[in-house]
């Protein structure tokens, strides 16, 4: 019995040592992967690749509220980049998202020389973002403008009648949740929406007038919802210069004392490096290799940063976790 007890004790000691060295191996692997990830991350690129260079930022597609974009632009504010060129190719999006982008670019402009290049389209909310800059460059065939606001919603009341469906509701006041698309829009609801649209439109017009230095006559001419080509836009003071990125660089050199021949490097508006796919996968593989499969599955589902946050939790938890696959 004494011999059996000694064997059990030895096995336990060996198991503890093995677990310790597994943990050490994982920490070393994660540290090495993190060093590589840092160089490829937004923070790492800010520190390494934007140093002594001009940062290129791309705003594309529909513009919505995006806190990650806000934080990425804040990191760029504090980077060592000499200047920023913002390329915009967007038809717009939500007014709130466009205002958020505008505010972020204004804060960035206060720290770094900034110029906007219209790739193909800077319309409506895309143009709101563009006028944050003191100088806008567009190609001759680019489209800019569409100064206006709309509120649109589907109305399926006639369809519901056809299929014999009636929506019943009880609400606190006539304008609560109006319009809802299930009944014809009442004159009162339409008037309320009209007031919203006109208020946002007045804000948009005021922003354009202030940022582009327009008088009322010129503002009336450009603020009817139309888009204009780059050739038209320069005459209407919607942009400042025809050209491309090289034109923007020349303006920075001539007007913002930016050094000539600085490299232009992409600054991508992406999530934190701990949640990059390559790092998540590599860390998961390292954990699997040393037998810590449960933690590996957690990282695959939530990412490195969130998994570390989860490990830091203790005490009685009320926490829902999706079931992991086998």
Using alpha carbons only, what angle is made at residue 153 by residues 152 and 154, rounded to the nearest 5 degrees?
A: 135
β-strands 143-145, 227-229 pairing: antiparallel
Contact 300, 324 (CB under 8 A): no
Output the pLDDT for position 232. Answer: 97
Q: pTM of the full predicted structure?
A: 0.68
**Segment of 27-31, 43-47, 126-130 carrying the highest mean pLDDT:** 126-130
Among 14-18, 87-91, 178-182, 300-304, the least confident range: 300-304
Any idea which fold 54-146+226-266 has?
Answer: 2-enoyl-CoA Hydratase; Chain A, domain 1 (3.90.226)
Output the pLDDT for position 282. Answer: 56
4: helix, strand or coil: helix
Output the pLDDT for position 256. Answer: 94
Angstrom distance (rounded) from CA 234 to CA 184 = 44
pLDDT at 8 over 80: no
Structural domain spans, the chain: 2-41+273-311, 54-146+226-266
For residue 58, which of 89, 101, 96 has the smallest C-alpha distance? 89
- Give catalytic residue positions: 124, 176
Q: How confident is the model at residue 157 (pLDDT cuts 50, 70, 90)?
A: confident
Query: How many CB atoms sit inside 10 A of residue 154's CB?
Result: 8
Q: How confident is the model at residue 322 (pLDDT cuts 50, 70, 90)?
A: very low
**Segment of 4-8, 94-98, 113-117, 256-260 carrying the highest mean pLDDT:** 113-117
CA 273 to chain centre: 15
């Amino acid at each position: 019995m004494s011999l059996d007890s000694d064997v059990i004790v030895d096995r336990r000691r060996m198991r503890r040592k093995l677990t310790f060295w597994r943990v050490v191996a994982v920490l070393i692997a994660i540290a090495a992967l993190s060093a590589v990830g840092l160089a490829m991350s937004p923070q790492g690129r800010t520190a390494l690749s934007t140093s002594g260079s001009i940062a290129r930022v791309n705003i594309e597609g529909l513009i919505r509220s995006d806190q990650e974009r806000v934080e990425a632009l804040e990191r760029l504010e504090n980077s060592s980049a000499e200047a920023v060129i913002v390329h915009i190719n967007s038809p717009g999006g939500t007014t709130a998202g466009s205002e958020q982008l505008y505010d972020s670019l204004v804060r960035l402009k206060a720290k770094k020389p900034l110029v906007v290049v219209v790739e193909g389209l800077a319309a409506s909310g895309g143009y709101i973002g563009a006028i944050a800059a003191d100088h806008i460059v567009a190609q001759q065939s680019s489209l800019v403008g569409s100064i206006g606001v709309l509120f649109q919603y589907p109305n399926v009341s006639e369809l519901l009648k056809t299929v014999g469906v009636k929506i019943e509701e009880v609400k606190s006041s006539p304008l609560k949740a109006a319009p809802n698309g299930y009944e014809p829009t009442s004159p009162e609801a339409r008037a309320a929406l009209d007031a919203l649209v006109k208020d946002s439109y007045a804000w948009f017009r005021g922003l354009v007038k202030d940022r582009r230095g327009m008088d009322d006559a010129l503002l009336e001419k450009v603020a009817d919802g139309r888009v204009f080509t780059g050739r038209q836009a320069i005459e209407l003071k919607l942009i400042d210069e025809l050209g491309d990125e090289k034109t923007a660089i020349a303006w920075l050199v001539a007007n913002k004392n930016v050094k000539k021949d600085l490299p232009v490097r992409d600054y991508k508006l992406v999530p934190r490096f701990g949640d990059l796919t390559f790092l998540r996968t590599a860390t998961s593989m390292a954990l699997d290799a040393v037998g810590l499969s449960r933690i590996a599955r957690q990282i695959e589902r939530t990412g490195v940063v969130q998994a570390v946050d989860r490990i830091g939790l203790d005490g009685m938890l009320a926490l829902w976790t999706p079931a992991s696959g086998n």
